[in-house]
């Protein structure tokens, strides 16, 4: 698949969103928790507690919505600062109760608008980057669709980062890149190639640990195997003492 | 939000339309005898402007200045010892035209990267100082920028020193793809370790501080100061206007606006910056190390 096809697949409306992953992997065990305790409840971020093979876990997702109505409600998965603060609140809660954290990332980017700037979008993301680096519990982030720049990274400072085969992860959208580089937003295909945003590229660059193969049609086999993989990984990561865990997380990002 | 979109609004519209290399290469302060203030349009004698720290004597507009000049204004004379001066970027993801852009940036700025880091004394207080440079690809953050800042923090943590950073940046450097995004996490990790060691970090935001730099180390200081009227943003005004198709309020995203919203501690004019930094460093227990500083103490 070419890079631009990958971009289209990553953005496709037919693609499972964070809610699908949560439902299919955690079933009825998921209890949603709301709000950042400071300003509002940002619906672009869904979070709560669930059970993974009997183990309590904190689950956080950037949610785009599955139909037009939901997409409007969810602001198309573009979070405001309160969304990132809600995510951080739930991560701190996970740390307190020694639960691992799993993040499903799917966003074209942090929202850019007046309110987002007024309430400190940059500060909110920066705080997540800092705090996640030393959160004393295992973190796993899975890019399931679009990984748009800082807005995606704010949920992806993790011990391992995985990507769905056709997901993308980039510092800038191909459209934005093309319009800066060639003053022509239509040259997205070229820009997509240049940015090295596919799961294959990112694996080669060492930015992700694992690529999750996507079947032609999404089936329960994919979710079941993903569930097992997540459980095994938490067992593996969680075996290290906290100091080792944090040292490894620091080194993971220090190498770039 | 795409952290590099913001490059565009940093240039005036007519310059954007020209889109030529000559625009990129044009120095910020022309060497002519007279300079016209871009805000109040008053012609100012270049020598007067230089004497006034490159601040317009009429309206107080803070002209953008280079990193070397900033260090000269901030650090005690002769105290600055540079770290990693020869570290330089390469075209790591083979991005079109990046090699040439880097070469031009080096020629244009006379520097190897968009940040200069080192050890300095400010009012006699020993501190790690990092100064970003708008003349190098609009201070964009590439892997070497991130590496130099991370090393500066790691050095400061090891030696129990405070860190002062002057930021100026359009954001992450698109030409290094995802690896420039990773610098946000890398630098934030180093800031966190420095912070957890109980050490002081002061950021001074200068015009403009945007995108991935705002969303990482610029906003992570214990104390965040800004120069007057500096543009401080995550998403730049043009990107926002394009997104929401609405005119933005006047003074939106200026230092004064961000101060009012509660995201920075103080707006400090350039002429007072050194004194304010000195005070803060001393209040956090920095030892005064030079004879010169000893004299200052009797002030």
List pLDDT tens digits, range A122-171: 999 999 999 999 999 999 999 999 999 999 999 999 999 999 999 999 99
Q: Name the pLDDT band for A218 (thresholds 50, 70, 90).
A: confident
Per-block mean pLDDT, blocks of 10 residues, chain B (299 long):
50 44 51 85 91 92 94 97 96 95 95 97 97 96 98 98 97 96 98 98 97 98 97 91 85 95 97 97 83 46
Contacts of B146 in chain A (CB under 8 A): 256
**Shortest Cα–Cα distance, B257 to chain A (Å):** 8
Residue A256 lies in a domain: no
Contacts of B263 in chain A (CB under 8 A): 120, 123
CATH code assigned at A23: 3.90.226.10
What is the residue range of A10's domain? 3-248
Residue of A169, A172, A254 lying closest to B189 (CB–CB): A254
Residue A101 lies in a domain: yes
Q: Chain B within 8 Å of A121 (Cβ-Cβ)?
A: yes
Contacts of A125 in chain B (CB under 8 A): 215-216, 234
pLDDT of residue B20: 41
Residue of A123, A148, A196 lying closest to B263 (CB–CB): A123
Q: Do B1 and A150 touch (CB under 8 A)?
A: yes
pLDDT of residue B275: 97
Residue of A117, A157, A169 lying closest to B233 (CB–CB): A117
On average, the pLDDT of chain A sits at 96
pLDDT of A181 strictly over 90: no
pLDDT of residue A248: 97
3-class secondary structure per residue, chain B: CCCCHHHHHHCCHHHHHHCCHHHHHCCCCCCCCEEECCCCCCEEEHHHHHHCCCECCCCCCECCCCHHHHHHHHCCCCCCEEECCCCCCCCCCCCCCHHHHHHHHHHHHCCCCCEEEEEEEECCEEEEEEEECCCCHHHCECHHHHHHHHHHHHHHHHCCCCEEEEEEECCECHHHHHHHHHHHHHHHHHHHHHHHCCCCEEEEEEEEECHHHHCCHHHCCCEEEECCCCEECCCCHHHHHHHHCCCCCCCCCEHHHHHHCCCCCEECCHHHHHHHHHHHHHHCCCCECCHHHHHHHCC
- Structural domain boundaries of chain B? 65-297
Residue A254 lies in a domain: no
pLDDT of residue B286: 76
Residue A33 lies in a domain: yes
Q: Which fold has domain B65-297?
A: 2-enoyl-CoA Hydratase; Chain A, domain 1 (3.90.226)
Q: Phi first, then psi: what are they for B115, rounded to 5°?
A: -140, 145
Question: Per residue in A61-90, pLDDT tens?
Answer: 999 999 999 999 999 999 999 999 999 999
By C-alpha distance, the chain A residue nearest B146 is A256
Question: Which tops the pLDDT comparison, B3 or A25?
Answer: A25
Question: Per residue in A88-126, pLDDT tens?
Answer: 999 999 999 999 999 999 999 999 999 999 999 999 999
User: What total of structural domains would you count in chain A?
Assistant: 1
Residue A14 lies in a domain: yes
């Amino acid at each position: 698949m070419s890079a631009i096809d990958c971009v289209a697949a990553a953005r496709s409306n037919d693609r499972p969103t964070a809610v699908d992953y949560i439902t299919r992997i955690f079933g009825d065990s998921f209890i949603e928790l709301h709000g950042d305790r400071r300003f509002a409840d940002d619906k672009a971020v869904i979070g709560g507690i669930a059970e993974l093979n009997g183990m309590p876990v904190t689950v956080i997702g950037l949610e785009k919505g599955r139909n037009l109505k939901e997409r409007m409600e969810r602001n198309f998965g573009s979070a405001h600062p309160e969304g990132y603060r809600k995510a951080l609140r739930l991560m701190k809660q996970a740390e307190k109760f020694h639960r691992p954290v799993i993040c499903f990332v799917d966003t074209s980017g942090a929202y850019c608008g007046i309110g987002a700037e007024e309430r400190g979008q940059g500060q909110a993301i920066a705080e997540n980057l800092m705090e996640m680096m030393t959160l004393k519990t295992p973190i796993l982030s899975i890019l399931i669709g679009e990984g748009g720049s800082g807005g995606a990274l704010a949920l992806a400072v993790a011990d391992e980062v995985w990507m769905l085969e056709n997901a993308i992860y980039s510092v800038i959208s191909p459209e934005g890149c093309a319009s800066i580089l060639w003053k022509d937003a239509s040259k997205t295909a070229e820009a997509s190639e240049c940015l090295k945003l596919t799961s294959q590229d990112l694996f080669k660059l060492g930015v992700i640990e694992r690529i999750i193969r996507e079947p032609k049609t999404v089936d329960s086999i994919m979710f079941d195997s993903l569930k097992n993989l997540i459980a095994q990984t938490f067992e593996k990561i969680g075996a290290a003492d906290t100091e080792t865990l944090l040292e490894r997380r620091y080194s993971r990002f220090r190498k770039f | 939000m795409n952290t590099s979109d913001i490059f565009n609004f940093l240039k005036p519209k007519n310059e954007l339309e020209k889109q030529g290399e000559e625009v990129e290469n044009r120095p910020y302060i022309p060497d002519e005898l007279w300079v016209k203030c871009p805000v109040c349009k008053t012609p100012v004698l270049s020598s007067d402007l230089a004497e006034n720290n490159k601040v317009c004597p009429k309206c107080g507009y803070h002209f953008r200045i280079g990193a070397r000049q900033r260090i000269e204004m901030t650090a005690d004379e002769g105290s600055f010892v540079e770290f990693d001066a020869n570290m330089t970027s390469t075209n790591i993801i083979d991005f079109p035209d990046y090699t040439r852009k880097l070469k031009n940036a080096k020629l244009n700025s006379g520097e190897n990267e968009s940040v200069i880091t080192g050890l300095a004394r400010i009012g006699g207080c020993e501190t790690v100082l990092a100064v970003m440079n708008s003349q190098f690809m609009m201070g964009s953050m590439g892997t070497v920028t991130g590496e130099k800042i991370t090393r500066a923090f790691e050095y400061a943590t090891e030696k129990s020193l405070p860190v002062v950073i002057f930021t100026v940046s359009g954001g992450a450097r698109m030409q290094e793809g995802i690896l420039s995004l990773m610098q946000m996490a890398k630098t934030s990790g180093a800031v966190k370790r420095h912070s957890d060691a109980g050490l002081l970090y002061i950021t001074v935001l200068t015009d403009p501080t945007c995108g991935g730099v705002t969303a990482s180390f610029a906003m992570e200081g214990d104390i965040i100061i800004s120069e007057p009227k500096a543009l401080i943003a995550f998403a730049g005004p043009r990107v926002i206007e394009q997104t929401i198709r609405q005119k933005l309020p006047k003074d939106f995203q200026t230092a004064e606006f961000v101060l009012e919203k509660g995201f920075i501690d103080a707006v400090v004019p350039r002429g007072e910056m050194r004194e304010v930094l000195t005070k803060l460093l001393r209040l956090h227990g920095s030892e005064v190390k030079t004879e010169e500083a000893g004299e200052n103490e009797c002030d």
